[in-house]
Structure 1
Amino acid sequence: MRQTTMAKPNEVVRQWYVVDGQGLTLGRLASEVATVLRGKHKPTFTPNVDCGDYVIVINADKIEITGDQDNKKSYFSHSMHPGGLRVRTTRVMREQYTVEWVEKAIKGMLPHTKLGDVMRTHLFVYTGSEHPHQAQKPVELKIKG
């Protein structure tokens, strides 16, 4: 008889991964990173426990997009005050707000709950090739595409 393993929060072993975003497509990168942050790549995945790993994304300024998304796609944000709608195109987000652009793509693929809020704190995005997490000895995560 097989028994389902349910992970407990104090038994979770976390790994650090580093992803080089140079030449990768934003959507493919975001879906793979969200899978690792959520912990779905582990055999002990439990939906109600944060069993995901830490992910560092470097070279976020060299991430690519396909098609004509630079001009057609827009990002909306509202301050909840009258006239507080802010609209930015993908080109503006990619050039001026690179870190927020990548974080927003990954955030959209995580659960929108308190557990998802905790998972989002395990993501670190940097525009250059350097990051201050060398002491954690991150392992390189290969992403196809």
Structure 2
Amino acid sequence: MRTFTPRPADIQRSWYVVDAEDLVLGRVATEVARVLRGKHKPIFAPHVDTGDHVIIVNADKVVLTSNKAESKRVYRHSGFPGGIRSRSFGEELARSPEDTVRRTVRGMLPKNRLGRAQLKKLKVYAGPTHPHAAQNPQPLVIDGARRAV
């Protein structure tokens, strides 16, 4: 049996939109990463980018379970000795929700040039509007991502 390799002519890319209002960040990120990789398609191959485009709106209204907003930390380093900086996840989400959601999805993609190509198909917006209406995006339903109240 030979490894199936989809040809570029076989790949049909769709556009999906996700309304992240009151959805749990990690559960949204796993489903979005699955669609970006193309694992929902029967022609999926791990060495070819077969994924679709995803638009996330209302990224500023995403929620974190438990007390992760206060206890979880986001680190960055300047490259100089002693140059590590950290913020709480809640502060980072309030400062730049688009970058926070994009960083979460990026951690679930491959760490190579294929993952970087897949991440370029992700568009994140803090508000409810997006400029991609011409692509006619379909709503992506994410089951089990609603926060239990």
Task: Give the alignment's TM-score, normalised by structure 1.
Answer: 0.94
Residues 23-63 of structure 1, C-alpha deviation per residue, up to 9 Å, x if partnerless?
A: 10000000000000000000000110000000000000111
Code of the residue aligned with 2:47 in structure 1: it is N
Alignment of 1:53-92 (within 5 A): 53-92=52-91
Deviates more, 1:3-12 or 1:44-53: 3-12
The residue that corresponds to 1:118 in the other structure is: 117
Question: Contact conserved, 1:9 with 1:50, CA < 8 A, in 2?
Answer: no
The residue that corresponds to 2:129 in the other structure is: 130
The residue that corresponds to 1:97 in the other structure is: 96
**TM-fit CA distance, 1:97:** 1.3
Q: Post-superposition, which runs of at least 4 consecutive aligned residues in structure 1 deviate over 2 A?
A: 2-6
Identify unmatched segments of 5+ residues in structure 2.
none
Cα distance change, pair 10–72 in 1 and its aligned pair in 2 (3 A): same
The SS at the match of 1:9 is: coil
Task: Give the alignment's TM-score, normalised by structure 2.
Answer: 0.92
Code of the residue aligned with 1:18 in structure 2: it is V
The SS at the match of 1:11 is: coil
Percentage of matched positions with identical amino acids: 44
CA distance in 1, matches of 2:140, 2:3: 28
CA distance in 2, matches of 1:118, 1:95: 27
**TM-fit CA distance, 1:11:** 2.6
CA distance in 2, matches of 1:41, 1:25: 21
Code of the residue aligned with 2:12 in structure 1: it is V
**TM-fit CA distance, 1:79:** 2.0
**TM-fit CA distance, 1:105:** 0.6
Q: Please report the RMSD computed on the Cα atoms of aligned residues, expressed in angstroms.
A: 1.4
CA distance in 2, matches of 1:81, 1:133: 40
**TM-fit CA distance, 1:135:** 0.6
